[in-house]
A and B are shown apart, each in its own frame.
Chain A
Amino acid sequence: MTELEKNIEIIKEISGSDPYKCMRCGKCTASCPAYSEMDIKPHQFASYIIRGDLEELIDSKAAWKCLSCFACIERCPRDVQPGKLVDATRQIVARQRGGDYLQPEEVPELLAEDLPQQLLVSAFRRYRR
């Protein structure tokens, strides 16, 4: 097994998804409601991982723009479920860097009066470890 393949194994473990199964049909990207916000599109997550361009994924905006709506997970014909790869990318960032997309200090300013608790806990869990 090459070094790259070993790293991919780790991602497989975190995500529970196998990027090698992807056939690049793009149904995930076609389904993605956050398409316009993502600099790396859902179908590209598998190929970035397979190529070993993990740094680019980690530095991308895309990982943080995913809505976790599971449309890609539901519709993926190859059972790759790209949303899981997006989540794994966030996890790697969170585990290595402590998660820097949402800082607790930012929160008071972002709060609206009627904002539901569900939103805050979801955002914290999605954006940080």
Chain B
Amino acid sequence: MQKIGVFVCHCGTNIAATVDVKKVVELVRYEPGVVFADDYMYMCSEAGQEKIIEAIKEYGLTGLVICSCSPRMHEKTFRACAEKAGLNPYMVEVANIREQCSWIHKDKEEATKKAVILARAAIAKVNLNTPLQEGESPVTKRALVIGGGIAGIQTALDIADAGYEVDIVEKEPSIGGRMSQFDKTFPTLDCASCILTPKMVEVNQHPNITLYTYSEVEKVSGYVGNFDVDIRKKARSVDFGKCTGCGECQTKGPLGKIGNIPSEFDRGLKNRPAIYMPFAQAVPAVPVIDRENCTYFKTGKCGVCAKICPSKAVDYEQQDEIVTVKYGAIVVATGFDIINLDKYGEYAYNECPDVITSIELERLMNAAGPTGGHLERMSDHKAPKEIVFIQCVGSRCDDDKGKPYCSKVCCMYTAKHAMLIKDHWPDTNITVFYIDVRTPGKNFDEFYRRAVEQYHVNYIKGQVGKVKPQPDGSIIVQAADLLDGKQINKKCDMVVLAAAIEPNPGVRKIATMLTASIDNNNFLTEAHAKLRPVESPTAGIFLSGMAQGPKDIPETVSQAGAAAVKVVGLLAKDKLKTNPCTAQCDTLLCNGCSTCANVCPYGAITYEDVQVNDHGLRETRRVAQVNVALCQGCGACTSACPSGAMDLQGFSNRQITTEVDAICR
């Protein structure tokens, strides 16, 4: 028989305001196995833990039930506390009477009743707990970073500088990401390329960094410290070893410099040929052949690029290659894109070439962009003299078209755009229609005020209702000035839309492979919103940049560094403690049906033939076997097993049914 101590936490008023803590103590005192029960203001505090340790020693406790917050919050704390007093940490159970009780109920009597029931269930379970021993697993001292934008680049550099090997997988032909498309950055207005390109070069030259560009993660298996990742290196059709990056193939091909495929990098404002480097400073400086659009691959005729390549680097026979690499940690830095604007017909983006997105404007203002940095209308190549910016296009929406969140960076980049335009072309009038101007950040509001006070950018509060292209080629923006109480029909010749940001659409697939959770908006979820912001709840997976939520470059770089530190902290360990709560197969009950292996998300179950003696009858049976190093203790197999052969240590079927019985009692 266990000797159980029950400790009920007030959590200040978090629990005590809704749950009668003293009453809980009184009611659980006589539960089977309980020899001690007490309450305290903050059980997790040092004094609270001291109380637990004293009780363990004084009453010779063999099991603990802590009625407090979610085990995700403090299970670790209380297990460590038990261990300190010489108790096996797996003899501790947490009854969550905060998140699952006091925070969600209003009626004190009802909440108290529920708290008692939750405590009873935990007590019933501890009665069946057995001491478990953590195992050990080695750590592969190599990290994978998925995504080669500024987030991935910074994370990789920080890990590499700490002395660990790190690989970057980037699906585009070059690293650089969104930042490489930008012209200048706020609030300092320094050139994006000038600060990014050196980092791209550093990545390329760093002895600890391996780049997989034009590559995608195909499969992930394993667990923290021991991931196996299949990387598909798409056929570049250009031999890395031979290509010198001279660029002849792109400029002297059948279409010369023009090309006939809309350039992804220039957001379709310019064309590129089928063999291309996305931009001049691409890293690596090796082109790829876009096989879907290449005449040679479509018709078997052409082959011009192979003929003109001075180093004979073009290789039409190249095949996709899959490499399998082991990693200890994985960082997701898949970045963002802007939303598709098809649902926003009122802004005439699809109909009018002079209605553009902010990223397109970045390209139009970039000296290396499609117009050589001359801002012009796509319709008639004239310089716009009257420009309207529309904020929050698809952000802060509660309809089925947009996103519910604030995209965070638009207010600042719009102020940036307005000032840059006024700097270059002072005779341009600029109007910004906003809902709220949001500028929290160092030197941010000052930056916005400068746009108003020094550059005379006209800010009008009121979302635009409709953008109306006119017969004369101008555009009328129909809006209202809510502060002055006026409807406005603003005639202009260019409209720039601050389209909402969304996570890179490919992140869903990657998150599924990694079993990393994502929220309703496809942003990766952090392990704890405040205290573990760069870790995924899945051990060994870390988050960097926009994949986790909208943020600007300084914030992205900070988060990238934070993720790197977490990775380094993991890789620095030689061994990791493994979770002892793993599945076990009772080979006498198992009939080898494969149901468990089919549901196991970690590939932890294999089968083997064993000799069994069934009531004197010797026979060979196919039975399941769990690789405890791979098992994460999710329990999928135990609920799927038709014969009840699978059981989870620490969460046995018997423990769970006993808990349910205790609840229903």
Q: List A residues at the B interface (Cβ < 8 Å).
A: 21, 23-32, 35-36, 41, 43, 71, 75-79
Give chain B residues whose Cβ lies under 8 Å from the Cβ of A79.
398-399
Is A25 a contact of B465 with CB atoms below 8 Å? no
Check: B482 CB closer than 8 A to any chain A CB: yes
Is B466 a contact of A77 with CB atoms below 8 Å? no
Residue pairs across A and B with Cβ atoms less than 8 A apart, 17 shown, are A24-B482, A26-B482, A27-B463, A27-B465, A28-B465, A29-B462, A29-B482, A30-B463, A30-B464, A30-B480, A35-B487, A43-B480, A43-B482, A71-B465, A77-B398, A77-B402, A78-B397
CB distance from A78 to the nearest CB of B (A): 5
Is A76 a contact of B399 with CB atoms below 8 Å? yes
Is B462 a contact of A31 with CB atoms below 8 Å? no
Check: B392 CB closer than 8 A to any chain A CB: yes
CB distance from A11 to the nearest CB of B (A): 18
How many angstroms between the C-alpha atoms of A35 and B555 in the bound complex? 42
Give chain B residues whose Cβ lies under 8 Å from the Cβ of A29.
462, 465, 480, 482, 487
Q: Which of the listed residues B397, B464, B465, B485 has the most CB atoms from chain A within 10 Å of its own CB?
A: B465
Check: B422 CB closer than 8 A to any chain A CB: no
How many angstroms between the C-alpha atoms of A76 and B435 in the bound complex? 13
Return the chain B residue nearest A30 by Cβ.
B465
* Extra 8 A-B pairs, beta carbons < 8 Å, given A25-B392, A25-B396, A26-B480: A25-B462, A26-B462, A29-B465, A30-B464, A31-B346, A43-B482, A77-B463, A78-B399
CB distance from A37 to the nearest CB of B (A): 11
Known A25-B392, A30-B487; judge A78-B398 contact (CB<8 A): yes
B379-397 vs A, CB cutoff 8 Å, 1 = contact: the mask equals 0000000000000100011
Check: B478 CB closer than 8 A to any chain A CB: yes
How many angstroms between the C-alpha atoms of A50 and B232 in the bound complex? 57
How many angstroms between the C-alpha atoms of A87 and B386 in the bound complex? 38
Is B463 a contact of A26 with CB atoms below 8 Å? yes
Known A25-B392, A29-B482, A30-B478; judge A36-B463 contact (CB<8 A): no
Closest CB pairs A-B (n = 10): A31-B465, A30-B465, A27-B463, A25-B463, A26-B462, A77-B397, A29-B480, A35-B487, A30-B480, A25-B435
How many angstroms between the C-alpha atoms of A31 and B463 in the bound complex? 9
Give chain A residues whose Cβ lies under 8 Å from the Cβ of B465.
27-32, 71, 75
How many angstroms between the C-alpha atoms of A30 and B487 in the bound complex? 6
Check: B479 CB closer than 8 A to any chain A CB: yes
Give chain B residues whose Cβ lies under 8 Å from the Cβ of A77.
392, 396-399, 401-402, 463
CB distance from B577 to the nearest CB of A (A): 48
Is B461 a contact of A26 with CB atoms below 8 Å? yes
How many angstroms between the C-alpha atoms of A32 and B482 in the bound complex? 13
Give chain A residues whose Cβ lies under 8 Å from the Cβ of B480.
26, 29-30, 35, 41, 43
Per DSSP, are chain B's interface residues mostly helix, strand or loop, or mixed? loop
Give chain A residues whose Cβ lies under 8 Å from the Cβ of B398.
21, 77-79
B459-492 vs A, CB cutoff 8 Å, 1 = contact: the mask equals 0011111100000000000111010010100000
How many angstroms between the C-alpha atoms of A30 and B478 in the bound complex? 6
Number of A-B pairs whose CB atoms are under 8 Å? 66
Is B392 a contact of A30 with CB atoms below 8 Å? no
Give chain A residues whose Cβ lies under 8 Å from the Cβ of B487.
29-30, 32, 35-36
Known A30-B478, A41-B485, A79-B398; judge A23-B466 contact (CB<8 A): no
Is B399 a contact of A30 with CB atoms below 8 Å? no
Return the chain B residue nearest A74 by Cβ.
B346
CB distance from A25 to the nearest CB of B (A): 4
Return the chain A residue nearest B487 by Cβ.
A35
Give chain B residues whose Cβ lies under 8 Å from the Cβ of A28.
465
CB distance from A56 to the nearest CB of B (A): 16
Give chain B residues whose Cβ lies under 8 Å from the Cβ of A30.
462-466, 478-480, 487
Give chain A residues whose Cβ lies under 8 Å from the Cβ of B482.
24, 26, 29, 43
How many angstroms between the C-alpha atoms of A119 and B435 in the bound complex? 37
CB distance from A2 to the nearest CB of B (A): 18
CB distance from A12 to the nearest CB of B (A): 15
How many angstroms between the C-alpha atoms of A77 and B435 in the bound complex? 12
Give chain A residues whose Cβ lies under 8 Å from the Cβ of B402.
77
Give chain A residues whose Cβ lies under 8 Å from the Cβ of B466.
30-31
How many angstroms between the C-alpha atoms of A76 and B396 in the bound complex? 11
Q: Which of the listed residues A23, A41, A76, A77 has the most CB atoms from chain B within 10 Å of its own CB?
A: A77
How many angstroms between the C-alpha atoms of A25 and B483 in the bound complex? 11
How many angstroms between the C-alpha atoms of A36 and B435 in the bound complex? 22
How many angstroms between the C-alpha atoms of A85 and B480 in the bound complex? 19
Is A23 a contact of B462 with CB atoms below 8 Å? no
Give chain B residues whose Cβ lies under 8 Å from the Cβ of A35.
480, 487
Chain B, 173-202, CB within 8 A of any chain A CB? none
How many angstroms between the C-alpha atoms of A28 and B399 in the bound complex? 14
Return the chain A residue nearest B466 by Cβ.
A31
How many angstroms between the C-alpha atoms of A27 and B396 in the bound complex? 13
How many angstroms between the C-alpha atoms of A69 and B652 in the bound complex? 63
Give chain B residues whose Cβ lies under 8 Å from the Cβ of A43.
480, 482
Q: Which of the listed residues A31, A43, A79 has the most CB atoms from chain B within 10 Å of its own CB?
A: A31
CB distance from B334 to the nearest CB of A (A): 27
How many angstroms between the C-alpha atoms of A15 and B463 in the bound complex? 23
CB distance from A4 to the nearest CB of B (A): 22
Give chain A residues whose Cβ lies under 8 Å from the Cβ of B401.
77
Return the chain A residue nearest B394 by Cβ.
A77
Give chain B residues whose Cβ lies under 8 Å from the Cβ of A24.
435, 482
Give chain B residues whose Cβ lies under 8 Å from the Cβ of A27.
463-465
How many angstroms between the C-alpha atoms of A35 and B462 in the bound complex? 14
Chain B, 310-348, CB within 8 A of any chain A CB? 346
Q: Which of the listed residues B392, B396, B463, B482 has the most CB atoms from chain A within 10 Å of its own CB?
A: B463
Q: Which of the listed residues B462, B464, B480, B485 has the most CB atoms from chain A within 10 Å of its own CB?
A: B480
Is A23 a contact of B346 with CB atoms below 8 Å? no
CB distance from A126 to the nearest CB of B (A): 22
CB distance from A44 to the nearest CB of B (A): 9
Return the chain B residue nearest A35 by Cβ.
B487
Give chain A residues whose Cβ lies under 8 Å from the Cβ of B462.
25-26, 29-30
Return the chain B residue nearest A21 by Cβ.
B398
Known A29-B462, A30-B464; judge A23-B435 contact (CB<8 A): yes
How many angstroms between the C-alpha atoms of A74 and B482 in the bound complex? 20
Give chain A residues whose Cβ lies under 8 Å from the Cβ of B346.
31, 75
How many angstroms between the C-alpha atoms of A71 and B463 in the bound complex? 14
Chain B, 335-383, CB within 8 A of any chain A CB? 346
Give chain B residues whose Cβ lies under 8 Å from the Cβ of A25.
392, 396, 435, 462-463
Return the chain A residue nearest B481 by Cβ.
A26
Give chain A residues whose Cβ lies under 8 Å from the Cβ of B435.
23-26
Chain B, 397-449, CB within 8 A of any chain A CB? 397-399, 401-402, 435
